[in-house]
Amino acid sequence: MSNDQPPTGPPPDDDPFRKKPPEEPPSTPPPPSGGGPYGEGGTGGPGGPAEPGQPGGPTPPGPGSPYGGSPYGDSPYGGGPYGTPPPPYSGGAADPLAGMPPLAPTGKRVAARIIDGLIVGIPLGLIGWLIGMFDSYNSDDWDEVSTMSDGKSLIWQLVTMVVYIGYDTYLTAKDGQTIGKRLMNLRVAMLNNGMVPEMNASLLRAVILWVPALICCFCLWWLINLVMILVDKPYRQGLHDKAAKTVVVSTT
């Protein structure tokens, strides 16, 4: 048995029981993929691509309707106030008649109105004659004539207005054409889009047209409307057209 004592002092450098394993340097995380601190999308915000209009983002939509296509919408005529934007004319302003069908000639409008008046007026006159609405006008008794004017004539006047207004309203709202307008190849259209007038617009148009004429001033009212159509620019609208925002155009 050996009597050698263990050496004193610090252990030698080659002592395998006192050496510590070498320390490894801290690992560095890999950079994020996609070329930016927020992922793919270049200069976009956190977690997503760039917004429209920013560098690297999608191109924003061009001008026009927010729902696509022309900002004027679909139209049966395809131009001007009835479709695509009109080309410029005098002074660079938009031509208000561009894209519209030709406006109805005044002579055809008058002819169509005469035809409609006869279509409604002749049957009404026959019915009034058959039921004796006009008998008292042949009497020499002024009191009897006054009674007729105050009674039966008022009822007959109301019936006449209802028939004329109903005729014009129904056919205009149906396809924009009364019988007279159909024979003259004309049509009533909404000024802003060329569509057939709805019932409210057709009724307003018929009331403005017929009520003043049948109440007090038949010839004067037609003359006023005729002058209005002749002088109105650019759409040749009568007072009834202006009230309903309609225009009369040719169909051929």
Burial 125-159 (b: 16+ CB within 10 A, else e): eeebeeeebeebeeeeeeeeeeebeeebbeebeee
Looking at residue 92, its pLDDT comes to 55
Mean per-residue pLDDT pooled into runs of 10, the chain (252 residues)? 55 51 59 48 48 52 38 45 50 73 95 96 90 64 53 83 96 97 97 94 96 84 93 95 96 90
Contact 47, 38 (CB under 8 A): yes
Measured distance CA(154)–CA(50) in Å, rounded: 76
Query: Tokens standing for 36?
Result: 């930016």
Looking at residue 228, its pLDDT comes to 95
Looking at residue 185, its pLDDT comes to 97
Residue 9 burial (C-beta neighbours within 10 Å; 0-12, 13-18, 19+): exposed
Contact 110, 226 (CB under 8 A): yes
| H-helix or E-strand spanning residue 250 | strand 246-250
Q: What is the residue extent of each domain of the chain?
A: 106-250
Amino acid 47 reads: G
Looking at residue 44, its pLDDT comes to 45
Q: Which residues, other chains included, contact 190 with Cβ-Cβ below 8 Å and sequence gap of 6+?
A: 196, 197, 201, 245, 246, 247
Contacts 24+ apart (CB under 8 A), 212-220: 214/157, 214/160, 214/161, 214/164, 215/157, 215/161
Amino acid 231 reads: V
